[in-house]
Amino acid sequence: MSLDAAPVHASDVSAAQPFFACRGLNAYYGDSYVVQNVSFSLGKGEILALLGRNGAGKTSTLRVIARASSPSLRSGEIYLGASALHGKRNFQAAQAGVQLVQEDRRVIPGLTVEQNLQLATITGKKGWPFERIYELFPRLAERRRQEAVTMSGGEQQMLAIARALAREVKLLLLDEPYEGLAPVVRHDIAKALREVRAAGITSIIVEQNAVAALHLSDRAVILDSGEAVYDGSAEEVLNDSTLRHKYLAI
């Protein structure tokens, strides 16, 4: 579908009432143009699958939304409710409720599971209490006093998501949450993310396993060479083999 790239002002966002909106994002690594005029919006509690082939600009778009130091946002606007994020730095976006779970999980060596969670709450507003997090991820409750880096990859992924939930989170950004995980662990994480959605948290998922991401998501945006070429329902992508083959090679 056609995407409106016109700038959005706070009053316009409030009138349209999207929970999250980005418009006309253009970002670079050095001289390389990696995100080109990307626009989409989300309602509260929706899950969006941000899809595309390798190098399409998916992770770069997540990093722009999280206000990471790179890539550099050259133009465009990002809103969480009526709060403008495009002029903020990473820690300010996090304080506003944007939490990025990166692909490498970033579990801190030498600390237990619970110490990793405690550290996450020091620099921001507290989110879910640990008891609620342990109900969501029972394996973490069992390993709360275990050094986190000694856990399996799936358990470390659970911890990475749990750390985001331990802080105030309104928009959860997940980069390759299923990467390298066994099907049973992917199932556990998908179940947890559905519970996160039920709690009213909005999520954007970048995932090479496009079918799994689509089954979890309400909506989908497909990127191709840094541009958004599709913005619509996840179900439509699942049912359109021509679209999947052209842009996702599946």
124 and 163 Cβ atoms separated by less than 8 Å = no
Q: Quick: pLDDT tens for 103-120.
A: 999 999 999 999 999 999
In the chain, how long is the greatest CA-to-CA distance?
51
Domain that holds residue 185: 45-68+92-248
Q: Would the pLDDT of 21 be above 90?
A: yes
CATH number where 189 lies: 3.40.50.300
**Tell me, what amino acid is at 102?**
Q
Indicate the pTM of the whole model: 0.91
- What does the pLDDT average to over 180-198? 95
Q: Quick: pLDDT tens for 144-173.
A: 999 999 999 999 999 999 999 999 999 999
The answer to whether residue 235 sits within a structural domain is: yes
Can you tell me the distance from the alpha carbon of 109 to that of 92, in angstroms, rounded to the nearest whole number?
26
Q: Would the pLDDT of 9 be above 90?
A: no
DSSP, residue by residue, 53-118: STTSSHHHHHHHHTT-SSSEEEEEEEEETTEE-TT--HHHHHHTTEEEE-TT--PPTT-BHHHHHH
Cα 109 to its chain centre, rounded Å, is: 24
The answer to whether residue 32 sits within a structural domain is: no
How many domains are contained in the chain? 1
The alpha-helical segments, DSSP class H, found in 53-107 are: 58-65, 90-95
Tokens standing for residue 56: 């399409």
The sign of the torsion formed by the CA atoms of 28, 31, 33, 39 equals positive
| Residue 98: half-sphere exposure toward Cβ, Cα within 13 Å | 27
Tokens standing for residue 194: 């559905």
